[in-house]
Amino acid sequence: MEQVESILGGMQGNPLNGLRAVDQRWSQWRKNPNVPPLMVASVAENCQDYDCDVVVCGGTLGILLAAALQRQGWRVVVLERGALRGRDQEWNISRSELNVLVEMELLTPQELRDVIYTEYNPARVQFHGGEPLWVENILNIGVSPKALLQTMKEKFLTWGGKIFENNACTAIRICDGGAIAETEKLKLKTRLILDGMGHFSPIAQQARQGKKPDGICLVVGSCAQGYTKNSSGDLIYTFTPIRNQCQYFWEAFPAKDGRTTYLFTYLDAHPDRFSLEFLLAEYLKLLPEYQQVDLESLDFQRFLFGFFPSYCQSPVHYPWARILPIGDSSGAQSPVSFGGFGSMLRHLQRLTTGIHEALQQDCCDRRSLAQLQPYQPNLSVTWLFQKSMSVGVKETCPPDQINDLMNAVFAVMADLGDDVLYPFLQDVVQFQGLAKTLPRVNFTTVLPLLPKLGVGALADWLRHYLSLGLYSSGYHLGKKLFPAPDNYRLRRSLEALKYGSGNDFEKDFQTED
C-alpha cells in the first residue's frame, strides 16, 4: 500500500483522495446493511400542466437518449448533479456498435471520426497455461467520453433541449397523469422521467429495497506512457493462479495518452473482501510482469478505479409508473464485461423508438415501461459465468481452476469459429453458440465447479438457458407472423425476443475506410 500512497499521493490532483472516497463506499456496501433511500413517492396531485415531456436525471449516458428524443421533437430537460462532461479515459468499443450514432443522425460521420481517439488491432485473449487467441475489431476503438459528451451536449442544445448542471435531482413525485422531478432550485412537471444516475442511483436502490448486490466487479488501472510495445491490446488475460481468493483478469488498450491497463476481478460483497487500495497495490506489484516493464520507466497520466455492483434480477423493473431506468442504473449491461457504454449503444435505437411510442400513445404506466427494459435470457445466462469466475471467501479450490475452465471454454469457441466467438466477446450470448460450445467443453474441467455453484444456481441457469432457446425460435417465428406489428405491446414483445436472444448482433470485420 505504501507504493500506492507514494505514486498516487505525488500526482497532480491527488487521486489517492478519490480512491479512498470510492473505497469508503465499497466498505459501506460490504459491511453495512444498505438502507434504501426514499427518493420516489406517490402524491395525490394533478400535474398535467407539463413543463416538458421528458426529464433525464444524470447526463453521462443520459445525454445520448436525451438528444435522440429531443431530435424527434419531444421537449427534454437534463438534470445533472455536477458538470455534464465525460471523463478523460477512453471507452473501448467495436465499430459496429458505434455506427448507430450516425444511423440515428445524432452525429455526422465527421463528428464520429472526431470523437474516436484511438483504433488498434489485434487483441489477445489468453489464460494462464493456455495459448493466445488473436482477434480483430473487437473493442478496438477508443472513444473519448469527453469529446462525445461535449458534441452531444452542443447538438442537444441546438435542437432545443435544456440542461441544468450542478442540479442534483433530490426527489421524484408520481402524480395523476405525470411526475415531478425536484432539485433544490427546480420543480419540473413532466410526462416521463429517465433515471440515468448510474449504478448508485437512489431510485434504483429504492426499487431494489436496499438488497445487497449478487456480484461485484472491482477494477483498478492506469493510463501511462513509457511502454515499449503499444500496438496491440488484451481483451482478457491472466497470468497468475487464484490470489487472495480472487482470479485476477487483465485488460490493455493503446490509448491517446499512452497505454491503458486494467486489473479486474469478480467477487461478492462479503465484509472480509479487500479494498480497492489493496487491489491497486496488487496491480502495481504485478504490472511489471504483465507488461514486461519497470514501474520507474512509466509516466502515469491517470489512475482509474471503481466497483460495479450487479444483481441477478436485471434489468430492474421499477414499481412506479412514469420512471424508466436507463444506462447502468437499469442493470441492462453484462455482469461480466460491464461495458455500459456499449450496452447503451446496442439498445439506443430500440429505447428511442420505444420511449417515443410510449409518449405518443401515453403508455407510461408501470407495465408498459417495464416492457422497455425487458427480461433478457441472454443476459441472465451470463450470471453463472460471473459466478464461476469468482471464489468464495472461505472456499478452497485448486489454484488454476478458473484458468483451466477459461482455457477449456475458449479453446472450444475458437475451434467453432468466429460466428460463435465474436458475439460472445462482444457481450452477445446466442443460443446456437452456447448450445454448440457447452457439450464440447471437457466435463472434467466443469465437474469440480458444480458443488460451488450449487443446485439452485444451476437450476436457475437452466431456466434462463431454455428461455434463451425459446426466445431464439420465438424471434424467427414472430418475424414471420408479424412482419409489421402496429401495437405498442406487440412491438415491445418482438423486440424482447430479438434482443433477449442476441439476434440484434451484427458482426463487423471492417475497419473504417
* Chain residues that interact with ligand FAD, rule: CB under 6 A: 57-62, 79-82, 91-93, 168-169, 196-198, 219, 304, 306, 327-328, 338-342
Nearer to ligand FAD, 342 or 377 (CB): 342
DSSP string covering 253-298: EEETTEEEEEEEEEE---TTPPPHHHHHHHHHHHHHHHHT--GGG-
What does the alpha-carbon distance between residue 304 and residue 262 come to, in Å, rounded to a whole number?
8
- Closest distance between ligand FAD and the C-beta of residue 14, in Å? 18
How, if at all, do strands 116-119 and 162-164 pair? unpaired
- Closest distance between ligand FAD and the C-beta of residue 504, in Å? 16
Nearer to ligand FAD, 328 or 495 (CB): 328
State the Cα angle at 36 between 34 and 41, rounded to 5°.
180
Nearer to ligand FAD, 60 or 388 (CB): 60
Nearer to ligand FAD, 407 or 426 (CB): 426
- Closest distance between ligand FAD and the C-beta of residue 341, in Å? 3
Do the beta carbons of residue 379 and residue 310 sit within 8 Å? Answer: no
CA distances for 174 relative to 135, 186, 221, 360, angstroms: 49, 16, 41, 19
User: Torsions phi, psi of 108, nearest 5?
Assistant: -80, 165
Nearer to ligand FAD, 151 or 437 (CB): 151
DSSP state of 72: T
- Closest distance between ligand FAD and the C-beta of residue 489, in Å? 27
Do the beta carbons of residue 217 and residue 236 sit within 8 Å? Answer: no
Nearer to ligand FAD, 197 or 406 (CB): 197
Residue of closest CB approach to ligand FAD: 340
Q: Is the peptide bond before 374 cis (omega within 30 degrees of 0)?
A: no
- Closest distance between ligand FAD and the C-beta of residue 470, in Å? 29
- Closest distance between ligand FAD and the C-beta of residue 83, in Å? 9
- Closest distance between ligand FAD and the C-beta of residue 50, in Å? 20
DSSP state of 438: G
Q: What is the CA radius of gyration of the chain?
A: 23
Nearer to ligand FAD, 197 or 434 (CB): 197
